Structure 1
Amino acid sequence: MNHPITIKSGDLQLSGVLQYPHCDPETKYAAKFPLVIICHGFIGNRMGTDRLFVEAAERLTRSGYLVLRFDYGGCGESTGDYGSGGLDELIAQTRTVIDYASSLDLVDHERLTLIGHSLGGAVAVLTAARDARVKSLVLWAPVAHPFLDIRNIIGAKAIQEIDTIGKTDHMHYELTKRFTDSLAQYQPLVELSGYSGDVLIVHGTADMVIPVDYCFLYQKMFWTRKEGGCDKEVILQGDHTFSSKASREQLFDISLRWVDSLGKRRNDWSLWTI
């Protein structure tokens, strides 16, 4: 069952959908469920390219997960202007969504996972480094160098226009200097040291938007932490949005198997007594 929601974040109204796990109606309100919050990428929305997040949520809910998909301010059906703010606002919006989710009685707070795709992956990392409520991260083709990666997407000409007149039009989004300046201020590869939870990184070898090498770099940096593990999976011929049926099925299978394994590990530890 899908439940449309609106979450207030500052002056913005973030549009989202809460998707309940497939289970008996009596169980739905009696049990606590693991929660997955999906963070979309640059000028994206809660549906994802070719319904990536819709399909992911369906797989997760069939396996007993509660899923929350939402649009960042100025994207999808949320209010605001996406390019007028910065990464700090995207982090704040993500934390506001976590506030909402944490207030729900049916959420298992010890199994709260962020799935972040592309720039949403970088936002997920930066959020987790600031918010201990995030217990695990799943990063799909994550941005590692926000300014450089977005510059490569919008082009050097657009960056020059921003530097000259303070803004540019990209795909009908008005991107401001505040937005691009904030991209340069945040370094997820450095800040990830502030997060101690477990991480899964999945990237495709045919990604022409964000280099597949980033998954190796991210894993290396996550491994330098004192706490928390990091696994990675590389999908052969997977593009940036895992658009083929085969790569998407692999993406979902890998991600679901990994989050399931965390839940099993937690349940096994709960059987131990001291």
Structure 2
Amino acid sequence: MSFFCCRNQVDLFSRITVLICHGFVGSRIGVDRLFVKAARDMAAHGFNVVRFDYAGCGESEGEYGAGGMDALLRQTRDVLEHVRNMESGAPGKLILLGHSLGGAVSLLTAARDSRVDGLVLWAPVLRPFEDIVRIVGEESYREALQYGQTDHRGYVLRDTFFQSLRGYEPLREAKRFTGDVLLLHGNRDEVIPVDSVFHYERELRLRQTGRCETEVIVRGDHTFSAHDAYQRLISRTTAWLAQQAGNETVAV
């Protein structure tokens, strides 16, 4: 299986490399070019950024959801390994930036892989099974149960994909990650309720190691499409990344 990746490289020895993990049936481009803009803005602040398409999304091969949640985690680790190989000898930190379902995948990956130094979670899914069923709709989910698959926005989603989500509860695994975390969520998110971010915050603040910072973005929808919401999202993110790099000169 091959994945389509795009890299905004500033400095081979940059102290920060960000790997962007897109959400459910998304792509490395993002709604309203969210990830394109974010990658360019982060690169402008001196951070290396890598974007990729999960299997079956964007320009990557394969079928989305084949192999279930396990496959999404495996693909994330594969790209992480690829990034680490590209960064061979570089001393920088590797940060996973996950949006929506990509947020849950990023957290689960970080909880299992010590190569991840930090997490930025934008509007992260809290309960993968419940959240994805709500997004596709109960009728479509029942269709998958009855016929083995359903169509969602042109993607064939199999019953096995939905059932695979049941076995993962990122909230329960949050304490296993010992790095710093930045949580950002829009107050107008109608896809993943903003209350989700407070559940994550509570669990992450109970850890003995690792800091957690949280902000609710005013006028932010699920993809932070409003101009001022996006500007706050990216300014908060770049400031946090600068702190991780040991350079706190970026204004919040």
Give the TM bin, normalised by the shorter chain: over 0.9
Matches within 5 A, 1:13-32: 13-21=2-10, 28=11, 31-32=13-14
- Cα distance, 1:263 vs. partner? 1.4
Identical-residue share of aligned pairs (%): 45
Aligned residues of 1:60 and 1:67 also touching (Cα < 8 A): yes
Report if the CA contact (8 A) 1:35-1:107 is conserved.
no
User: Tell me, what secondary structure is at the counterpart of 2:4?
Assistant: strand
Matched position secondary structure for 1:51: helix
Q: Which runs of 5+ in 1 are unaligned?
A: 1-11, 22-27, 267-274
Question: Whole-Å Cα distance in 2 between the matches of residues 185 and 265 of structure 1?
Answer: 39
Deviations 1:27-58 (A, max 9, x none): x45x3441000000000000100000000000
Looking at structure 2, the residues matched to 107 and 198 of structure 1 have their Cα atoms a distance apart, in angstroms, of 23
- Pairwise CA RMSD: 1.5
Deviation at 1:262, TM superposition (A): 1.7
Out of 102, 111, 120, the residue aligned to residue 120 of structure 1 is 102
**Is the 2:5–2:51 Cα contact (8 Å) retained in structure 1?**
yes
Name the CA shift for 1:108/1:203 in 2 (closer, same or farther; >3 Å). farther
**Residue 249 of structure 1: CA displacement?**
0.3
The alignment's TM-score, normalised by the length of structure 1, stands at 0.87
Matched, 1:65 2:54: no
Q: Which ranges in structure 2 are unaligned for 5 or more consecutive residues?
A: none
1:220 corresponds to which letter in structure 2? R
Higher-strand-fraction structure: 1
Shift in Å, 1:248? 0.2
How is 1:145-164 mapped onto 2 (pairs within 5 angstroms)?
145-164=127-146
> Matched residue pairs, number?
248
Provide the C-alpha distance between the structure 2 equivalents of 1:66 and 1:264, rounded to a whole number of angstroms: 15
TM-score (norm 2): 0.95
Which residue of the partner structure matches residue 23 of structure 2? 41
Q: Which has the higher contact order (CA 8 A, sep 6+)?
A: 2
**Structure 1 match to 2:158:** 176
Match of 1:272 in 2: none
Structure 2 equivalent of residue 4 of structure 1: none
Aligned residue in 1 for 2:219: 237
Distance 1:203 1:107 in 2: 35
Residue 122 of structure 2, aligned match among 140, 148, 157 = 140
1:234 deviates by 0.6
